[in-house]
Structure 1
Amino acid sequence: MEDRVLIISDPLVMMGKPIVAGTRITVELILEKLAAGETSAQILASHPRLTPVAISAALDFAKETLRADTVYPVAAVSV
């Protein structure tokens, strides 16, 4: 099975934010929904063009991005 690129960034789509290929759904939106307590099933129901694999790809993209050797200044975050 051939690997498909599921997360792309195009400066002409959603201001260049990483999105799920073939949609205008940003990785940021998926992360926000998960952080707010939505389940993958709820996200999939709200966004029928998404797949479970796309949600996993968004999480993997975020993981790999944060793993990069970059310093992110972070203010205190309330939980």
Structure 2
Amino acid sequence: MKNTLKNLKKIREKRVGKLKNFTKEERIEINPEIVLGKPVIRGTRLTVEYVLKLLGQGIKPEEILKGYPQLEKEDIEAVLDYAFKRVSEEKIFPLTLQVQNNYENSIGRKHFAPNFQSVNKERARS
């Protein structure tokens, strides 16, 4: 097991250099050739989304690190930092719901089958 762990870390370090030199931002990578461009932990195919899902399911960071020995505590911190930044930059736009009195006319009768009749507010009350 220890040899496997050492091998995983060596392989990862070869691919991305010395990990200690990376900032949190640099530990997250977006590359169209890796997992369709989803944000991943650099040097792995573990997506930010997947790690967040594990954390959301109540799995402790220590357990994740045991299951993925090539990761470091700083990688988990980088995932959380990345997610925080994305959510804090999110813009919320209010949506309003409009009820159409005559739905058929709003999109055109031609879109319905010949015998189809929509129910508008007046017909629904009767």
Residue in structure 2 matched with residue 76 of structure 1 by the alignment: none
Q: 1:48 aligns with which of 65, 69, 74?
A: 69
Counterpart residue identity of residue 69, structure 2 = P
2: CA distance between counterparts of 1:7 and 1:48? 17
Q: Please tell me whether residue 61 in structure 1 is matched to residue 78 in structure 2.
A: no
Structure (1 or 2) with the larger CA radius of gyration = 2
Shift of 1:2: 4.8
Q: Which runs of 4+ in 1 moved over 3 A?
A: 1-4
2: CA distance between counterparts of 1:69 and 1:34? 21
* Higher relative contact order structure (alpha carbons within 8 Å, sequence separation ≥ 6): 1
Q: Please tell me whether residue 27 in structure 1 is matched to residue 48 in structure 2.
A: yes
Pairwise CA RMSD of aligned residues? 1.8
Structure 2 unmatched ranges of 5 or more: 1-19, 94-126
TM-score normalised to the size of structure 2? Answer: 0.53
1: CA distance between counterparts of 2:92 and 2:39? 20
CA, structure 1 residues 3+66, in 2 after alignment: closer, same or farther (shift >3 Å)?
A: same
TM-score normalised to the size of structure 1? Answer: 0.82
What secondary structure, in the 3-state scheme, does the structure 2 residue paired with 1:33 have? helix
What secondary structure, in the 3-state scheme, does the structure 2 residue paired with 1:44 have? helix
Question: Which structure shows the higher helix fraction?
Answer: 2
2: CA distance between counterparts of 1:69 and 1:43? 28
